[in-house]
Amino acid sequence: MEDGTRRLALVVLGMHRSGTSAMAGCLAHLGARRPRTEIAPTVNNPRGYCESEPVMVFNDRLLELMGSVWHDWRRLDPGLISAATRRDLAKDAAVLLAGEFGDADVIVLKDPRLCRLMPLWEEFLDLAGYEARYVLPVRHPLQSALSLRVRNAFSLETGRLLWLRHVLEAERRTRGQRRHILAAETLVAAPQATLAAIARELGLAARQADMEGVAAFIEPALFHCAFPAELPSENRWIAGLSERVHAVFQAWETEAAPSLLDAFYAEFDAITGSVAKPAAGLFPAIRASAVDGNCAAE
């Protein structure tokens, strides 16, 4: 900004197939700058992703440097990246942000990979002159897992493990910062009220015309989940832990929420390990199988 104040990055942190695209699009309707080079709409997301393709490519590069990929549920270790490489990456990120968002005072940054990469992106955004504020949409883990099963032929275990890693890392990393946590379905059920609450909590201006535009933008049919008549058997520990974590988010106002999530994080991390400590063979990563369900929401 010309007066020397920091620009604002509205960062959407959510699991894949959890309504993050709709959330980012709504924030754009409130005035945040969308990226210039967006991922093109697909049959899975016909209204678009509101997500920068160059940022996604850059994030895949970060994951590769730490021996990981987007569908890896293990904890990342930023220490695997040298200080010199990290400085170079920060410069690359600043150039990338300038190219995608120009000199906009408020931008919307969205990529589910960011849930795992915020230890790096916090630094990148800060050095590029942005203050980050966060929106964390949380969808039911089984709905996200079923949606990934349809789109990627992932097992339900893989989907739930990914859900756990993404939501736990996103919540843990944004504690004490300006953020808004919400059940993803509330954006469809009450878009104007949901965006008004986000605007209040994050200190954003929200005009009535913007709110009306948000209501018209949301398409409930694109955020649905039709469960198969029969679900395959699941690993009880994975299913149980993800359900318990989701229950904490559903009752977020309770004072015990952070300590409960810390305990679940420790349990999850102890079993699944990190990229630096491979957990190969723990669970099958992908199972190619016929699917009768249909779950949408990106």
| Chain mean pLDDT for the chain | 86
Number of folded domains that form the chain: 1
Domain assignment present for residue 297? The answer is no
176-180, 191-195, 220-224, 264-268: which range is least confident on average?
220-224
Domain assignment present for residue 298? The answer is no
Between CA 248 and CA 226 the distance in angstroms is 24
Identify the three-state secondary structure at position 9: strand
Query: CB–CB of 19/183 below 8 Å?
Result: no
Domain assignment present for residue 274? The answer is yes
Domain assignment present for residue 136? The answer is yes
Domain assignment present for residue 105? The answer is yes
Q: What CATH number should be reported for the domain holding residue 77? A: 3.40.50
Query: CB–CB of 10/108 below 8 Å?
Result: yes
Token digits of residue 229: 């008549």
33-37, 40-44, 149-153, 282-286: which range is least confident on average?
282-286
Sign of the C-alpha dihedral, residues 39, 211, 201, 8?
positive
Using one digit for the tens of pLDDT, what is the confidence trace for 25-68?
989 988 999 999 999 887 777 777 899 999 999 999 999 999 99
Domain assignment present for residue 265? The answer is yes
Token digits of residue 55: 């940022």
Using one digit for the tens of pLDDT, what is the confidence trace for 214-229?
767 777 665 656 666 6
Between CA 236 and CA 58 the distance in angstroms is 36
Q: Which residues pair with 133 in a beta bridge?
A: 10
Using one digit for the tens of pLDDT, what is the confidence trace for 85-118?
999 999 999 999 999 999 999 999 999 999 999 9
pLDDT of 241 higher than 90: yes
Domain containing 286 equals: 7-291
Domain assignment present for residue 148? The answer is yes
Neighbours of 291 (CB within 10 A): 14
Token digits of residue 126: 């800060």
- For residue 109, give the nearest of 91, 127, 89, 131 by alpha carbon: 131
Query: CB–CB of 142/164 below 8 Å?
Result: no
Task: Kindly state the DSSP code that residue 276 receives in the 8-state scheme.
Answer: T
Domain assignment present for residue 2? The answer is no
Query: CB–CB of 31/283 below 8 Å?
Result: no
**Dihedral class, residue 116 (left if φ above 0, else alpha if ψ from -120 to 50, else beta):** alpha
Helix (H) or strand (E) holding 214: helix 208-217
Q: Which residues pair with 200 in a beta bridge?
A: none
String of b and e for 32-51 (b: at least 16 CB within 10 Å)?
A: bbbbeebbeeeebbeebbbb
